[in-house]
Structure 1
């Protein structure tokens, strides 16, 4: 699973022969926060011990988690929020924003010899070229990397996500708020269950 996520290829080796196939895909996965499913729930009590939660999380390898760009905690919606009737952003508006961001990305990579069409495909050299950071952004990212013990792979993932958040906002430069949002999407595996 790690090789296809990282390289977009899968290699099958048999006897004296090895074949490589394309395997670029988007992984969407879900899991409970603990064995009982109620860790951090506002309305129900979790009965799992810290070792139980750590053993449960240990079923997913650190290197695999490290290759997943975005980790989000989705809490249960309480009844009052469900009935509040607030108008969510429409799918059509979200689609427009995503299409504008994809156009920005296509333009960004149009001069590249690589056949890139979105930020998720950026290699380290593309990241360096497309994700220039201000001193404030650098400090914020460095502090997060140090405090959460994140890897170099997580660093690159944060920059790709921050660049995408900036694109969705129509911003030409990555700002501290974009870095902060991208960091929030990476800290779930570091702080939520630790």
Structure 2
């Protein structure tokens, strides 16, 4: 436990007014097709899945309990992470990665139909499934690569039990937005 699926599940359950202490989380090996099969066999009551999983399961009659649109804290699913040493030794490479990510985010937000066509082709989805997947996942992706403080704070608080600490962890210890702001400025996003 403690991965991005677990964090997303906790955030969705809390957004729906449930206490995560009332939920028994189970860890098992396997990617999404394995999890879907375990759900279909009735071995678990719910699973975490990413698009197009929820769309396909809903079309088969399963209930989707929640997704990115339900989150009050933003979507704590992914980030671009780099070690301090890598950032120092490969500063320009890191900027190129961020530039590519931000251009991709802009493309997704501004060119919905093109994005759906790409999803359909690359992910082997029908246009309808790709469109529904796009609509469900887009709130997870900011237009400019930024993430709200409350999203980081939720992720930090959720991880404290995993690392067995109750000490406060300041945001400045886990993130540095300097390079992001620099690239946003270059791309005229701010």
Q: TM-score scaled to structure 1, two decimals?
A: 0.26
Q: TM-score scaled to structure 2, two decimals?
A: 0.26
Q: Which has the higher helix share?
A: 2
Bigger relative CO (Cα 8 Å, ≥ 6 apart) = 2
